[in-house]
Amino acid sequence: MALTAAQLDEVQAIAHNAFDKIMPDQFLTSSAFGSTMSKKPNLEYFSGGSKIQQPVQIRENKADGFTDGKFDVLDLSASQQISFAEFDIKYQNYNVSITFDDITRTSDTPNAIKSLLVEKVNLAAGTAKRTYAKALHGSGSDSDGKAINGLADVMAASGIAYGGITNTDLDDSTTWLTEISSLNTINFANLNTLVGTLIARGQGAGDANGSYAPDIMISNSFVQDKFLSSQQSQQRFAREDDLKAGFAGCKFRNIDWYVDDYSPGSADGSTTDNFLYVLASRTFALKYKYGFEGKKAPVDFNGRIPNQAIITSQHFMAYNLVCRARRYNGVFKALES
């Protein structure tokens, strides 16, 4: 058999090819909402249970009012004021496998510039992060009902249940419903209408973690670019710590506005389907049992497949997204230009 051209090259016989040790993640996408939910105080560990339950005030106290302070008969009737929303625990996994042949050629040898197994695990983890970030914008009905209850469920229209509670079943249907705008044009006046409503609604509400006033806005780049183009002389940019984390943005009424690759919309300049979320991040919690903050699932596995010369690394996550108070959040669902 004749020698190949490469075998006839004397340089290749005595010198390695130049090998760049940096292997970029070619599928990397940016998710500001995913970054926010994966950190304290939004990231919350729970010890277990068959469901995640969130207490919800469904009506105000009926035994309330003015009295003459003398002989008025007081209303002492009992009324249910509290119920709970209920969410399933959802599961995600990612696996990496490497063959004996791969190990032989790359393990414990100076000829292997990088560890193949380590690199494959790192890239698989990156894919898992994107699956998680995309699911945060999706619905619990995705992936045949196995996905988490993302923003699509939180921002569902009136009459659609969230966490098992339908807003139209309550005395005040607006208390378990997000503020939804159908305005199309991206300008200050339109955006300010919804944002102003949420600021007024949330500034007096909150919990130990902070106010329920909106503190983060999320859209695709098309929506933000269109708005910035109309406000060039008045642009304000995001706080320094978020810029250092890699999420550049601007401010709208002192609310940080970030671009998120998974925010819905065609971004083609003609279709009225681009979203802009206006969120009170303190109303959200990413409840998890396994997969975050170093908490490994008991079914995580690193070992050889019994009947094959293959080592597999399997990782599992158990979590779901919960919105405690929908009415302090809003969304534009039909922005165009």
In the chain, what are the domain boundaries?
A: 32-62+79-335
pLDDT of residue 12: 45
Task: Report DSSP letters for 268-291, one per residue.
Answer: SSS-S-EEEEEE-GGGEEEEEEES
CB of 256 closer than 8 Å to CB of 216: yes
CB of 180 closer than 8 Å to CB of 331: yes
pLDDT of residue 243: 36
Q: 265 pLDDT band (50/70/90 cuts)?
A: very high
pLDDT of residue 246: 41
- SS3 string, 157-192, reads CCCCCECCECHHHCCCHHHHCCEEECCCCCCHHHHH
pLDDT of residue 198: 96
pLDDT of residue 97: 85
The pLDDT tens digits of the residues spanning 227-255 come to 888 776 555 555 544 434 344 568 888 89
Q: What is the pTM of this model?
A: 0.80
Reading the block at residue 177, the tokens are 């419903």
The pLDDT tens digits of the residues spanning 153-184 come to 999 999 999 999 999 988 888 889 999 999 99
Distance CA 271, CA 265 (A): 8
> 287 pLDDT exceeds 80?
yes
Average pLDDT of the chain is 82
Sign of CA dihedral 221, 222, 223, 224: positive
Distance CA 275, CA 334 (A): 6
Based on its alpha-carbon atoms, the radius of gyration of the chain, rounded to whole angstroms, reads: 26
List the single range of 118-122, 209-213, 226-230 with lowest mean pLDDT.
118-122
Q: 269 pLDDT band (50/70/90 cuts)?
A: confident
- Chain-centroid distance of CA 162 in Å reads 17
| Higher per-residue confidence, 136 vs 207 | 136
| Higher per-residue confidence, 58 vs 203 | 203
> 7 pLDDT exceeds 70?
no
Helix, strand, coil distribution of the chain in percent, nearest 5: 30, 25, 45
If one looks up domain 32-62+79-335 in CATH, what number appears? 3.90.1690
